[in-house]
Chain A
Amino acid sequence: MSNTHAAPLLFELSKPGRRSSQLPRCDVPQIALDQLLPAEALADVPPPLPELAEPDIVRHFTNLSTMNMSVDTHFYPLGSCTMKYNPKRNERLASLPGWLDIHPYQPDPTIQGLLRLLYDLQADLAEISGLPEVTLQPAAGAHGELTALMVAAEYFRDLGQQRGKVLTPDTAHGTNPASARMAGFETLTVRSTATGCVDMDDLRSKLDDQTAVFMITNPNTLGLFDSQVQEIADLVHHQGGLIYLDGANMNAILGITRPGDFGADMMHFNPHKTFSGPHGGGGPGAGPICVTAELGPYLPVPIVKKQTEDTGADIFSLDYDRPKSIGRVRSFFGNVGVLIRAYCYIRTHGASGLLAVSQNAILNANYLLGRIKHFLAVPHGDRCMHEFVASAEALKHDKGLKQPAMDIAKRLIDLGFHPPTVYFPLTVHDALMIEPTETESKETLDAFAEALFHVTGESAEMLREAPHTTVISRPNEVLAARHPTLKWSPDA
């Protein structure tokens, strides 16, 4: 049951003398702190954290949780984010003490179970991507992109080639150009055609022997498979460049087609999307990358390796001896907890299950598209992969709404649905990007389509003022940005 009273802040609940923590008495001989540590290093008072009793904390955060929409409570068709069901078994099995209580610097012989799992996951990701060399180190998709671009930069340095340009399509995620910049590249944007695919003429005009990488999302952010991808790869390879595949939309092609087979040289996975996450209110994710054999030597260290002894026993170890490696992109091995969940998901499904994931994701998306296109424009056609982008632009004129996609999104909340992604990709006006995923029923899709239809028929007033049923109405975002209040303070 949701507690709809706005929750006070932790700091407003604080009262001197309250506390939750009780620590054991010191069982070793005690020496005064100022004899152990120099006086100038010591604080006079501990940090001014709130003083709270445990029941306060539990009720506070429990009430906060009820103010969130989540996959477990609502249909969450947030395009590009693959908000599928997060299996409970993965949560339980990733929380076994044998995974949680191991230190990152334990000797390899004491972590053979984990290393085997990670080794097998590397192999599974290589098989799914069609790219043989894998690193599990990056902490998120954007981090994987950055890592791959650093790998590319190192590869070209090693070849003695100066290539300073990265090309991205105008439909790309914002992380693509941002990652390219952080890896030291200039970025150029390649236009899309009216059908939503890469404009080949524009690509040809921008592609030259200075091009290091072309970053492509395929299926792209419009939910379309760009069938020119092999031709694009050939063009880029002919100029000596590399193809990076943004794996954000892998949920559409598992077991159907493989990036390595359609010309990609590098790609990242988003295990929190494709392999069922969860998303954790914004993280953690992970961003393993797969690359061709040629690029393998440049991947970050360490990589998990296997040796089979004469007895037939497999011994797993962390391989740091990779002289061409770019080094490290983060501390420790990687987001192991996320990777264990991905492993559970892959082992649950097997090859047939993964194929069925993509098939059902595609069927659900096309079915929803088929229902929605009758009352909202879907500018890029009657077919899609795992998601599609509708446009609410017509409502601008019909109802005089300034931000019709946003208004629709807000009104959907009242009807019990998490909104789709809005105003992305930038190439579609008033975009509503809808990704139902495979873990939703026809009934849910029908109900959503009907709600959306209902909303498009409502008055401008009703939409502009939505949502009407939430704990807050629309926040003043301009105020938040102009006068940033980024923490609580006692005198505010």
Chain B
Amino acid sequence: MPYFLNNQEDQQAMLAAIGATSIDDLLESIPDSMRLKRPLDMRPPMSELELTQHMEQLAQRNAQGTKHRCFLGGGSYDHFIPSVVDAIATRAEFYTSYTPYQPEVSQGNLQAMFEYQTLICQLTGMDVSNASLYDGGSATIEAVLLSMSVTRRHRKVITTTSLHPEYRQVIQTYLANLDAELVTIPTAGGRLEPSALSAELDDQVACVLIQHPNFFGNLEPVDGIAEQVHQAGALLVSVFDPISLGILRRPGDLGVDVAVAEGQSLGNPMQFGGPYLGIMACRERFVRRLPGRIAGQTVDRRGRRCWVLTLQTREQHIRRDKATSNICTNQGLFALRAAIYLSWMGPHGLQETATLCTQKAHYAAQRITERDRYNLKFAAPMFKEFVIQDKQGQVEQALKKAHAGGCLAGIALGRWYPELKDCFLVAVTEKRTLEEIDQLADCLPD
């Protein structure tokens, strides 16, 4: 085995030193009746060369970006990743270290976490950020749990059908064990009608979750929603798209209490859904209820500025069953990637990226709807994604044809929305060129 260092002689010397004759001697505490009496039933070991050939063969059976144009979104996007992200994040001092339990030998990770937290606050306009959670869905449920804890309302949470259906499923899975109800307001027009929210808001509601831009790509009418929600004594949780904040008003400027997001777009590959990172930021006054790792600034014994994991009395290793959450780790490496990405983009790069997405998405929507068979489903303003209605109601056939023509044209919505079974969701990032968008419009069938 390539990863073991001790040869037989070493092993014998070590056994002799501890007074054992074989490794089996060391296993006395495992009763014979529990021992596995046969080898594990697994395929034989592979050399690096064999493994490489095997993995390349498997990977080639996937149709990745070089084989088609990706217009899929729905929470995971084909944005550009600058070279510096991989160049830095593949440094072994970052990826082979662990949670910075010993700050003196982890200042690199801790400072990067602190910088990540600052960048997220700058991006969102929120007061404080943690050092990241698992992904967008888990950040969303953690925002719900935080809201329940802050408001001491444990029975009711409101959202809309325009929130990512998988995030809603996650919330439902968690709430099933906590005896709380998720009220989902329909969004027939592709976004929330503020009057529909008034009808549901009462003094039992812990929080209102609004995704903006929403799952359909539409902007929600967020202006004034915060006041409405706060009047009912509830918190406003926004699920945002990090790239959109290059041009859209920030959650912190809209009166949002907790802002969460899927951080994949910030320099992370799509890789079939993970690992990603969950972004979570909130108002200062909720910081002691914020789940996950947090880095804080302090000084060392000689008065030098430095960083540590802080507010650990919130966490499971201290509080056990009274902790704010069971979460143990953050997505350190992916938070690092996000920090590098945001530093590289800067304010203007992010603004230009967001603008390109919007311009290209609108162009794509126009080109597709020039075809008689396709309509824009919703009239609401949209950022980089939009819903196309197939008048023939043959979404599967349309997407198959488009794929044969070289494009993953969109995500069929029928699996989550029976009422939208004639619709699909199209996403356009800054990576898609004019030619690719024209190709998309042309490869959809008549």
> Least Cβ distance of A476 to chain B in Å?
5
Surface stretch bound by A, among B194-202, B340-348, B387-395: B340-348
Q: What mask results when residues 346 to 364 of chain A are scored 1 for a CB within 8 Å of chain B, else 0?
A: 1111111111110110111
A23 proximal to B (CB < 8 A): yes
A37 to B248, CA, bound (A): 9
> B48: which A residues are within 8 A, CB to CB?
89, 348
Are B310 and A477 in contact, with the CB atoms below 8 A?
yes
A81 proximal to B (CB < 8 A): yes
A142 to B169, CA, bound (A): 19
B135 proximal to A (CB < 8 A): yes
A41 to B296, CA, bound (A): 33
> Least Cβ distance of B193 to chain A in Å?
16
A110 to B70, CA, bound (A): 12
Q: What mask results when residues 109 to 132 of chain A are scored 1 for a CB within 8 Å of chain B, else 0?
A: 011111011000000100110000
Are A110 and B14 in contact, with the CB atoms below 8 A?
no
> A471: which B residues are within 8 A, CB to CB?
104, 107
Q: Please indicate which of the listed interface residues B300, B320, B333, B383 has the most CB atoms of chain A within 10 Å of its own CB.
A: B320
B269 proximal to A (CB < 8 A): yes
> Least Cβ distance of A475 to chain B in Å?
5
Residues in A22-77 with C-beta less than 8 Å from chain B: 22-24, 26-31, 33, 36-38, 40-43, 45-52, 54, 57-58, 60-73, 76
A45 to B274, CA, bound (A): 32
A41 to B411, CA, bound (A): 26
Contact check: which of A37, A351, A363 meets B23 at CB < 8 Å? A363
Are A96 and B56 in contact, with the CB atoms below 8 A?
yes
Are A106 and B408 in contact, with the CB atoms below 8 A?
yes
Are B30 and A65 in contact, with the CB atoms below 8 A?
no
Surface stretch bound by B, among A257-265, A288-296, A454-462: A257-265
* Contacts known (A9-B115, A479-B299); A113 close to B58, Cβ less than 8 A: yes
Interface size class of B (residues with CB under 8 A): 35 or more
A26 to B355, CA, bound (A): 9
B360 proximal to A (CB < 8 A): yes
Q: Which residue of B lies closest to A89 (CB)?
A: B48
Are B44 and A350 in contact, with the CB atoms below 8 A?
yes
Q: Which residue of B lies closest to A488 (CB)?
A: B118
A154 to B164, CA, bound (A): 24
Q: Which residue of B lies closest to A359 (CB)?
A: B23
> A329: which B residues are within 8 A, CB to CB?
138, 170, 173-174
> B343: which A residues are within 8 A, CB to CB?
10, 20, 49-50, 52, 57, 60
Are B297 and A485 in contact, with the CB atoms below 8 A?
yes
A97 proximal to B (CB < 8 A): yes
> B145: which A residues are within 8 A, CB to CB?
182
A163 proximal to B (CB < 8 A): no
B336 proximal to A (CB < 8 A): yes
Are A363 and B26 in contact, with the CB atoms below 8 A?
yes
Are A174 and B430 in contact, with the CB atoms below 8 A?
no
> B250: which A residues are within 8 A, CB to CB?
43, 47
A323 proximal to B (CB < 8 A): no
A52 to B346, CA, bound (A): 7
Q: Which residue of B lies closest to A82 (CB)?
A: B98
A410 to B26, CA, bound (A): 31
* Contacts known (A43-B250, A86-B96, A336-B272); A21 close to B82, Cβ less than 8 A: yes
Residues in B17-62 with C-beta less than 8 Å from chain A: 17-20, 23, 26-31, 33-36, 39-46, 48, 51-52, 54-62
> A467: which B residues are within 8 A, CB to CB?
104-105
A400 proximal to B (CB < 8 A): no
Q: Which residue of B lies closest to A116 (CB)?
A: B58
Contact check: which of A41, A87, A150, A332 meets B75 at CB < 8 Å? A332
Are B248 and A42 in contact, with the CB atoms below 8 A?
yes
Are B61 and A112 in contact, with the CB atoms below 8 A?
yes
A-B CB contact pairs (8 Å), 5 listed: A102-B64, A102-B271, A256-B27, A326-B176, A369-B18
The 4 closest A-B pairs by CB, nearest first: A332-B273, A98-B59, A21-B349, A113-B61
Besides A38-B381, A83-B98, 8 other CB < 8 A contacts? A37-B219, A68-B106, A116-B58, A174-B316, A230-B33, A279-B99, A369-B18, A480-B297
